[in-house]
Amino acid sequence: MPIAVYILGLSVFALGTSEFMLSGILQPLARDMHVSIPQAGLLVSAFAIGMVVGAPTLAAATLRLPRRTTLIALLAVFGLGQVAGALAPSYTVLFISRVVSALACAGFWAVGAAVAVSLVPFTARARAMAVMVGGLSIANIAGVPAGALLGQSAGWRAAFWGVAALSAIGLVGVVAFVPRTEVPTGEDRPQLRRELTIYRDKQVWLALTATALNGAAVFALFSYLSPLLTDTAGLAESWVPTVLALFGVGALIGTYIGGRIADAHLFPTLFGGIIASTLVLAILALTAHNSVAAIALSLMLGVTAFTTAPALNARMFNVANAAPTLAGATTTAAFNIGNTLGPWLGGLVISAHWGYPAVAWTGAVLAAAAVAATVVAHRLQRSTGAASRLVASSEEHLARGADRSHEAAADDRSAAAGGKRL
């Protein structure tokens, strides 16, 4: 695997820490900003909305720019967004800083994914994406718990300063190791109109739907995991960083498993991971008052959710192979549509006073819907593949018939010529 792919994964570590760390500092942030837990949870949705808008928009706007230059600019803007968040005097300013940071994060993800995929063979796409997704997993193991500890000891603003420092390190890595690339010219020149044709494909929309629903299922719970652990499972607030780290360990394990098997067994990986997430969320909803079960199931959810992540990314690049930049942008947007929908639905059930276990039920329903979308995609692919094989078989049969006709005609001509000679 090229070192540039690992550098991109390191940068994603900074992005992922910022995206996920609010789950560990939600309570002190809400207290300091004088807002409710659901309102604070909307900051997660704000970041996700910025990702949804930013991924396709920035991918299209930078389509003809050098990818390395684009990555550097976006990572710099992201770092400045973290500084703005750390200095935010009000909830409104913090909300805006999250959206701006998310726009830059989305663009980096979209372009970075296209770069990572371009640096490896077709058969190693899931492994390359596993390295990038692995940055998110490590963010959950180290970055998010560290942010929670900083939030509890030095205030939630310290977590934003920490991410700003991480993004600076990532920026240095991109400058030093990501190769310079010239913008293609002539027939290979990127064309937005040509890339937009991928959205005519039903499989692209099915892949987007499955990705969004899977993300929503996980984030419906994860965004409110901290209050679920303390208010429902009865754990002390000091336990939150540990459980978040366990989720991250599970995510790293899941990413490794998915990266290893998804290239060869794409749909089995998708079905296995999403169905397992559905079961884990349903069991957590039933056992949320048991602290041991809540801790163990948080670990398991990390495994199941992130086993599917490399497969979901690879699936989108496979069905949108003609538009690698927009494929990466679409995947990023899909994940973050889920990351927007999940916290919003979770906030609704909390505001309805259904309790934190209801958030896990919400996630289970969303995951079950993701399974249904994957079933439809699999059946469509099988039917399309069968039709393609039938056409190929018919063409081969016709070709063989034509060959036999030519041979018979040649034999007739030879026989006629022999008769004339006699």
What integer best gives the mean pLDDT of the chain? 80
Report the pLDDT averaged over residues 338-357.
86
Residue 265: strand, helix, or coil:
coil
Residue type, 166: L
pLDDT exceeds 90 at position 407: no
Residue 101 in tokens: 């940071």
Helix (H) or strand (E) holding 191: none
CB atoms within 10 A of CB 65: 13
Q: Residue 403: what pLDDT?
A: 53
Report the pLDDT averaged over residues 136-161.
77
Span between the terminal Cα atoms of the chain, in Å: 72
Do the Cβ atoms of 129 and 314 come closer than 8 Å? yes
Query: DSSP code of 139?
Result: I
CA separation for the pair 44, 340 (Å, rounded): 7
In order of 187, 307, 323, the CA distances from 319 in angstroms are 22, 20, 9
Do the Cβ atoms of 160 and 22 come closer than 8 Å? no
CA separation for the pair 375, 397 (Å, rounded): 33
> Picking from 1-15, 221-235, 315-329, which range would have the lowest pLDDT averaged per residue?
315-329
Highest mean pLDDT among 54-58, 173-177, 245-249, 324-328: 173-177
Residue 398 in tokens: 């016709």
pLDDT exceeds 80 at position 258: yes
| Phi, psi torsion values for 343, nearest 5 degrees | -60, -35
Q: Residue 388: what pLDDT?
A: 46
Q: Which fold has domain 3-180+191-385?
A: Growth Hormone; Chain: A; (1.20.1250)
Using 50, 70 and 90 to split pLDDT, how confident is the model at 241?
confident
In order of 52, 142, 149, 163, 339, the CA distances from 314 in angstroms are 19, 26, 35, 28, 19
Q: Residue 393: what pLDDT?
A: 46
Q: Residue 35: what pLDDT?
A: 84
Query: How many distinct helices (H) and strands (E) make up the chain?
Result: 16, 0
pTM of the model: 0.67
CA separation for the pair 132, 318 (Å, rounded): 17
pLDDT exceeds 50 at position 394: no
Name 59's Cβ contacts closer than 8 Å, sequence gap at least 6.
107, 110, 111, 325, 326, 328, 329
